Chains A and B, each alone.
Chain A
Amino acid sequence: MKEGLPFDHRPDPRLGAALRRALDAGDDAAFVARVLAGAAAVRPGSWDTVLARWARLGLAAAMLVALAAGYAIGRAGLPASAARPSVAETLLTRRAPPPEADVVLASVVGN
């Protein structure tokens, strides 16, 4: 095949014909019949199509609103005293109660 000019604005008929032969699947009539059979179940621009499009937008908006509301409620409803103590505070202030005497005894006897 001859090399065309770079950025040639005209289609290359020889390459085009070869590609067309390579890509053609044949029997377009059967394909058309198949598409039209499938089209029976599709309503063009129907309310459910439109609704589905708006539903996606609505769902995204609702999620944003829910996130914002959850964050606001979480911030507002949390009293300052209810803030979770840090690990250091927990270790310093909370001590486990000492074991009962019988537990200590059982441990010693068992060993």
Chain B
Amino acid sequence: MADPRSPQLPPRPARIPPQDEAELAARALAGDRAAFGRLVERYAATARRVARAVLGDPDDADDAAQDGMLSALAKLDQYDPRRPFGPWLLRIVANAATDRRRRRAVRRTEALDPALTAGGTRPDVSAERRALAERLRQALAELPERRRLAVVLFDVEGYSHAEIGAILGIPEGTVRSEVFHARRRLRALLADWKEDDG
């Protein structure tokens, strides 16, 4: 099913209604591995992206996302079923990613190929998209961590400011501010790339 927000976005896994997520969480807490599996399937891509927004490196991000999900499983008795499951889980995943980043020396992001930054010749759409993705990752890495997470959770994952506030443990107004500043920065960095990029 296409994302209703825009036909440009890739299809997402069908959202599980919140009450069903609470039910799945209760079953997972009771030891139902299939129920936990459904929750993992639902949030795998989101958790990986959130972790990668923090860590940059995809392998580190997957390790952190896995740590977060397993930590959430161990803490399922602390989940309040009256609240949405996603923000609760993503808070744990984001914390796991932050902890991992603190534990290890931050890997330096590789410098961009000058041809990319200069907007050199682009042989095909695929290479162009890879280059744009690399440039975006570079731009994200330059943002403060909280700002990075806020814009990814808002513009990529579609969470509301209030939900992001719950995930990051900050006031809703601060989330709005972080999203605004992140967007301004990212758009400025991307402005000279390609005006008609889809």
**Which residues of chain A are within 8 angstroms of B119 by Cβ–Cβ distance?**
none
**Which residues of chain B are within 8 angstroms of A91 by Cβ–Cβ distance?**
none
B77, B129, B190: which contacts A21 (Cβ < 8 A)? B129
Please count the residue pairs between chain A and chain B whose beta carbons lie under 8 angstroms apart in the complex: 150
Given A19-B151, A23-B152, A49-B75; A11-B158 close (CB under 8 Å): yes
Do B176 and A7 have beta carbons less than 8 Å apart? yes
**Which residues of chain B are within 8 angstroms of A50 by Cβ–Cβ distance?**
77
A3, A18, A34, A36: which contacts B136 (Cβ < 8 A)? A18
Do A44 and B140 have beta carbons less than 8 Å apart? no
Given A25-B52, A34-B66; A13-B74 close (CB under 8 Å): no
Do A11 and B5 have beta carbons less than 8 Å apart? yes
Given A9-B161, A31-B66, A44-B29; A20-B10 close (CB under 8 Å): yes
A19, A36, A39, A45: which contacts B155 (Cβ < 8 A)? A19
What CA separation (Å) do A38 and B72 show in the bound complex? 12
B8, B61, B158, B195: which contacts A1 (Cβ < 8 A)? B195
| 0 or 1 for each of A41-52: is its CB under 8 Å from B? (1 = yes) | 011111001100
A4, A22, A35: which contacts B69 (Cβ < 8 A)? A35
B37, B73, B78, B180: which contacts A7 (Cβ < 8 A)? B180
**Min CB–CB distance B61 → chain A (angstroms):** 7
Do A24 and B8 have beta carbons less than 8 Å apart? no
Given A1-B190, A23-B49; A35-B155 close (CB under 8 Å): no
**Min CB–CB distance A15 → chain B (angstroms):** 5
| 0 or 1 for each of B115-129: is its CB under 8 Å from A? (1 = yes) | 000000000000001
The answer to whether the Cβ of B14 comes within 8 Å of any Cβ in the partner chain is no
Do B33 and A25 have beta carbons less than 8 Å apart? no
Q: A1-B195, A50-B77 known; 17 other A-B pairs, CB under 8 Å?
A: A7-B179, A12-B183, A15-B183, A15-B186, A15-B187, A16-B158, A17-B9, A18-B197, A21-B133, A24-B49, A28-B41, A28-B48, A34-B66, A35-B44, A39-B70, A42-B70, A45-B78
Binding site for A on B (CB under 8 A): 5-6, 8-10, 28-29, 31, 33, 36-37, 40-41, 44-45, 48-49, 52-53, 58, 61-62, 65-66, 69-70, 73-78, 129, 132-134, 136-137, 140, 151-152, 154-156, 158, 161, 176-177, 179-180, 183-184, 186-187, 190-191, 195, 197-198
18 contacts between A and B (CB under 8 A): A3-B184, A16-B9, A16-B158, A17-B6, A17-B10, A18-B133, A19-B136, A19-B186, A20-B156, A22-B133, A22-B137, A23-B53, A23-B137, A28-B45, A32-B44, A45-B29, A45-B75, A45-B77
A-B pairs with lowest CB-CB distance, top 7: A45-B77, A13-B6, A16-B155, A22-B133, A22-B136, A23-B49, A44-B76
